[in-house]
Amino acid sequence: MTDENIIDVTPEDLEETLPGGDEKDSYTPNDKIKVLIIGKGYMGDSLSKFLSVDSENLEVHTITRTQLDYLEKDNLINFINNYQEQGVDFTYVVNCVGFTGERNIDEVKGNPELNFYLNVYFPIMLGSICDELNLSLIHIGSGCIYTDLPYNDDEGNRISSSKLYREKINSNDAGGNDPTGWRENDIPNFGIGNIDSSEYSKAKHQSELLLTNLYNNVYALRIRLPFSEEWYHKSTLSKLLSYKNIVKSVNSATYLYDLHNFIYNVIISGEIPYGIYNITSNGTLDGETFIKVYNDFKDRLIEKELLDKNDDLDKELIELNEFKDKCRIVENRSFTILNNEIAQEAIGATFTEINEELLVRCFENLLENGYNTDILTKHLRSEDFEDPDNQKELTESDL
């Protein structure tokens, strides 16, 4: 993937600049599908590179806060209208902006205003703009609005309410957990209705509810624990690499190829219905397999100076009930499985299987290419966050 087919400029530059930076007297309108990606952090950067590969059919535009204060509604509307005057009619807008904290969601709790502004207000404002301008919005949300597994009681009723769930689990009900996971129409049990859920999960649930109820032009994509072969510092694998304690649990996770391929198919086909989709890969990401693969690669990572040999590099697999105390977390976490059958059926494709082989491939890429320094200024080591003097100032961040 390269940047050569991504237009990363303001409307005023369009008369002089084409994708790849080639100079020309004017921008030439064309019949390609125009896509605007807002935010160029972990998710936006990776997605823009993926979509730009199909330069024959797609014209990919990206904007960042340094180019435009897109958090101001009038600025963004004028930006899109100015593009239209240049002959660029966007069809799809992808929201890759959000606040997840620099290291983890505990930092979200300490910044309630930023959490609300970026994870609730901005998506709703963007939905309003897309509705007004007749654009399709692809919103990257979160599947961390669920925890545990859904429960089917002895009469076949689906239980998602946290209170009812606990009552059924503690009763003599003859039902049981559904191992296939939460479906799109299940009521989230780790969102705004659960006092014990994280502030991050509450915000992501709220934005999904509002977007899908206020507007009819929205794809709300739920992802969990995103990762890929590219080791951005916000990749789940990069985070696990920096942790001493790894929880013994299985979770749905999103291999970014599956997310990007789903978005690509939405854009190219133009026929996939709006709505909520669980975009998680097949299989699960579990701590035990991660540690096994990590241990296989540890010596080679040290040799290539991708790990500091002076650090404590041993990782411990801990039980879920030990997690909060040993990891000194503030917010509760979501541990769950999402059912991705509807999403796979929608694009007629089978998502990637998360297994040891895929993790090996990711670690091999780390050995060959190192950390992604386009976004990553330096690899985050555990002591950076254990020493109060090294606490980073929290600012708005892209996903």
Residue 10 pLDDT level (bands cut at 50, 70, 90)? low
321-374 tens-digit pLDDT? 787 777 778 888 999 999 999 999 999 999 999 999 999 999 999 999 999 865
Angstrom distance (rounded) from CA 192 to CA 203: 8
270-299 tens-digit pLDDT? 999 999 999 999 999 999 999 999 999 999
| pLDDT at site 399 | 55
Average pLDDT, rounded, for the chain: 85
Q: Cα dist. 60→20, 57, 226, 343 in Å?
A: 11, 10, 22, 23
Residue 397 pLDDT level (bands cut at 50, 70, 90)? very low
Domains of the chain: 6-146+182-390 (3.40.50.720), 148-181 (no CATH)
152-205 tens-digit pLDDT? 877 777 776 554 545 544 555 545 678 899 999 999 999 998 999 999 999 999
Q: What is the DSSP string of 302-350?
A: HHTTSS-TTS----EEE-HHHHHHHTT-SS----B-B--HHHHHHHT-P
Tokens of 83: 């593009």
pLDDT: is 106 or 373 the higher one? Answer: 106
36-62 tens-digit pLDDT? 999 988 999 999 999 999 999 999 999
For residue 304, is pLDDT > 50? Answer: yes
> In this structure, are residues 152 and 158 in contact, taking their beta carbons and an 8 Å threshold?
yes
111-166 tens-digit pLDDT? 999 999 999 999 999 999 999 999 999 999 999 999 988 878 777 777 765 545 45
Q: Output the pTM of the full model.
A: 0.87
Tokens of 12: 């005023």
Mean pLDDT of 378-392: 29
Give exposure, 118-131, as e/b (b: 16+ Cβ within 10 Å). Answer: bbbbbbbbbbbbbe
Q: Cα dist. 218→138, 197, 326 in Å?
A: 6, 25, 40
> In this structure, are residues 177 and 150 in contact, taking their beta carbons and an 8 Å threshold?
yes
Percent of the chain with pLDDT over 70: 82
Find the range with the poorest average confidence among 245-249, 257-261, 278-282, 319-323: 319-323
Pairing relationship of beta strands 285-286 and 250-251 according to DSSP bridges: antiparallel
Angstrom distance (rounded) from CA 42 to CA 228: 11
Nearest to 398, CA basis, from 66, 35, 16: 66
Angstrom distance (rounded) from CA 330 to CA 392: 17
For residue 382, is pLDDT > 80? Answer: no
**DSSP-derived secondary structure letter, 388:** G
For residue 3, the one-letter residue type is D
